Chains A and B, each alone.
Chain A
Amino acid sequence: MLSPWFALNDPMWKDFDRLRGELERLFDMGVPVGNIRGVARGTFPAVNVGETGDDVIIYVFAPGMDPGKIELTIEKNLLTVTADRDTEQELGSSPKPQRYHRRERFSGNFRRVINLPEGVDPNKVDAKYINGILVVTVGKRAEEKARKIEVAVG
């Protein structure tokens, strides 16, 4: 009587199944659904998007940049951020070190395309670079703004 190799309810394989599940959760591959413009975890730079009643605010975590060299474009509701990062340049003007022990930081060209929610006005964009975070504020179209409704006492 031969049992099949991959009987996952066999106690011998239980741990492998658990490990596979943990790895899937870790790499987000368990759910085969994703935005077509989505990126793998750990992509540089990380992006957060938030909103207030009046604006949509995008935070791009890109330290060590020269803000003048970041290319920011907006078309309808697509925001594109692209730039070149050269981490060796951040060493400064002192003589170049002879060797390195670690190089974990991202260096090179990056490009992020961010889907903004419907209702943003591409003519109302403001961008600031604060402590290594690019903060882009996009105003919502007038009719999209949250409206406070007065409750009258009748």
Chain B
Amino acid sequence: MADLGLETHGLAKRFGRTTALDGVDIALPQGRVLGLLGPNGAGKTTLVRILATLLRPDAGVARVAGYDVARQPAHVRRHIALSGQHASVDEEIDGRANLVMIGRLLDLSGRDAAHRADELLARFGLTEAGARRVATYSGGMRRRLDLAVSLVGRPRVVFLDEPSAGLDPARREELWQMIRDLGADGVTVLLTTQYLEEADTLADTVTVIDQGRVVAAGTPAELKRRVGGHTVTVRVNDPADADRAATILAAVTGHHPERSARQVAVPVTRDDDFFQITAQLHRQAVDVSELSLRLPSLDEVFFALTNTAVAPASRRS
């Protein structure tokens, strides 16, 4: 068996009468990034808290970095780090002091803790800000410090709970690059997110959970394929050609195309349809400016899998 960074079998947790997790199975090889997606209250946070040894499962097994979270929590804690909405830094002291303190708690000597702190400040672009109180930091700087603090002990598994919630797009992109670097370092990452774009860009594999159950798992591409077929979109130069293009698309696929002035789009289910469409467009000399075959976005996948549109809003977070 390949080394697994994370592994759960039949993990279950109840809070009173609410079932937060109802038999979750996950297997993630060391060094991969898993995107955990699900609507609010799906059980994402509960799962992270069990894996981080903050909660005990009612049933099932969870292994992190090779150790059982229920039986060997002390071993697990040596190899994990928690960051994101449910972890935090001290606002009243400066950024560097936050890093040094965690280093000292991880039994680094004073000198090693200081050295590690400076290294991480540099890596996360916080060298200048290191001597300033965290209370003066911007949201993006604080997230970066939070991530830096979680890396002090060189963890093998990092849990990022909604790491970019509330960041503007530029800051988010910055943070994403830092998370990609983690994966490149061989760190196993479990990322919970509500931004599908985030899972799409960062995760090697995605697990979608809803009401405490895994409803889908696979690479982003696999999930997209699984949920819906591809869409062929044709954009024509001359709006007068749009009708002919629509006729071709309808004839080949048997579906009713969606159209605007210059653009026609239709779902395709057979692999051969795309080539049939291009051949027909060519034969009938339709002047095409753009022709694309695309997978559904992860948003569409997510909504299809979790039926979010009809989900009750009152589930437990």
Please say whether chains A and B are actual partners in one complex: no
Interface residues of B (CB under 8 A from A): none
